[in-house]
Chain A
Amino acid sequence: MEVALFVLAAAGALAGGVGVVASRLPVRNALSLLLVLVCLAVLYLLLAAPFIAVLQVIVYAGAIVVLFLFVVMLLHARSGEPPPDRLRGQRPLAALLVAALLAALAAVVRAGPQAAAPPPPEFGTAQAVGRVLFTTYLLPFEVASVILLVGMVAAVVIGRPLPRPPAGPGEARR
């Protein structure tokens, strides 16, 4: 059962991953990302992390990917990658580098510990997460709120319309 679910979810995630990277249509990229996220949520359940799985679906899939889709729609399909590719050596280079990266990561994975004890009963629940989050990680948690604030400010300031000419910064800079 677990194996089947894993294989299914892993396959889905990988397929989604390939889709994100390979698809020529931005909408499909976004939807592939959604597929990855959902598959990962399944895996999180398998890994005794129900709270994170829920978080994944609600926040990531529900908010972030939707935002992506929204922007993709906003920018239309023409915002693609018109030929020609000016960096001709990029593909082989990327292949080489990614292969090397994979090799290194494979070595790490192979060397990692294999077995694990079954988790304690409360493991992965919202309570468990909360307990840790509000003790050990209270400070990072509070700081995260500051980052979120920065995000808001950023959205406002970058999205704000340009100040009227003539003395705008656009003119003031070469």
Chain B
Amino acid sequence: MTSVPWLSAALVLPLATAAVAAAVDRRRTGALYGVGMAGMLAVAAVAGVVFVRFDARSAALQFVERAPWIPSVGIGYHVGVDGISLPLVMLTAVMMPLALLSAWGSITERVKELVVVLLVLESALLGTFVAQDLVLFYVFWEAVLIPMYFLIGLWGGPARVLAAMKFLLYTMAGSALMLVAIIVLYLQSGAQLGARTFDLVALQGLRLDPALEPWLFAAFALALAIKVPVWPLHTWLPDAHTEAPTAGSVILAAVLLKMGTYGFLRFVLPLFSASAVRYAPALMALAVVGVLYGGAVSWAQRDVKRLVAMSSVSHLGLITLGLFALSPEAVQGSLLQMVNHGLSTGGLFLLVGVLYDRTHSRRMDDYGGVASLMPRLAPLALIVVLSSLALPGTNGFVGEFLVLVGTYRVAPRYAVPALGGVILSAAYLLWMYQKVMHGPVAVREPAAVRDLSRREQALFWPLVILIFWIGLYPAPLLRRSEASVRALLALVHERAAAPAAVPAQAPPAPSFPTAPSAVVDRGLPAGPPADAREFRAAPGGEVRP
């Protein structure tokens, strides 16, 4: 569909830039940062082209590139984007330059290594989101680990060594079993599809043995749930986020965690539909626990960075909740919320980073009255905070509302307690904001707390613009994800309803139940959740034709 290999360009550009950076004299830190920034902006430009040229009406993969890679084992280089990967590609392309910018001026040691690591990381992250071959995906997925390990381990805080190792081992442990499941899928594909393959699109045609499917589902779900992280698999997160340098925390929160939620959408739902539907309540329950638990624990933190880190557990809980609600609103909301969380929590980490650069403390008790000292920071920080607590008008609200609406329609019992997160997020975020920004000036060296430099303002402005843009006019994003989400859910429900292990012709499309939706907990219906048609059929302005 396109002659220019845009996606490959996005994958190769960072690596090429890394090669260039490797050749730059290590003492010329400015040049190194400049080279890195140029590369990342080029990637962002490529992503912009992809975004603009993306055909929102199509649910199909676009910008597809395929080439044989290891043909003897059925592994191909197969990349493409659809409405599910596009937002995350964009998020990555936007957040990486900001992460680099956050280091510029803040990190002066081992700059060359830093730039190279960040560029490699960008390539791997983008690859994770565009790969359409399971092995290719896994390669990118794991390739993220090493640069991230070094990012935390080399430029991190005082407890960085342990945090980096914990991050690495914990997330690797999950992925390990996913690899096994990937291979099992491949082996299964031989009998049914004629040839063994790792191609995701082909594997979606697989009818798995009902005895096997839950295990594969579990293996994938474990890996992804650790990455997300779903409660109670989250404990690597506070350490890693807290100890990582600002750039690392930003990438971790903004992009890395989304690998997990994206993985659920991209792989778990279409490949293991029956189990996904069957175990959705369990995952939703965990997600809700995460929402509340993460919020409560955040509230109790005395370390600013740890507070922000734990808030991710809460936010990602909501995203997971939406994913497994399996209704179009919830899934689209989740997808949007992935972007939103990237922007807002990324912004919060940038905020913490800016503060840390000045005071070298993460303890809330060491702060106070910063708004007086940094009047330029205060409103920007507030906007980011408000985005994070999902104030209407900001991006967070749109995503959160969609998730809640979509979840409530199919599983009220999970949506209602999740509202507690709405309260908790305000509790801990405003608590933090007050402790840091308000009150009499209480920092140890007020003179060292200069207001934002131009570079630092440049960190926040893109975020602020996106926060309001998505908050007020999310249509460009929602429109692009709609067709793909719809197609995905149709596939999931069709596959979940179809008798497994009957590799006969496609089963008849399940008839949509027509019972009017009502305020009763229907649990999770086997078919599509509370009928979409009925939902839209109410006459009048709010329902689209």
Do chains A and B directly touch (beta carbons under 8 Å) in the complex? no
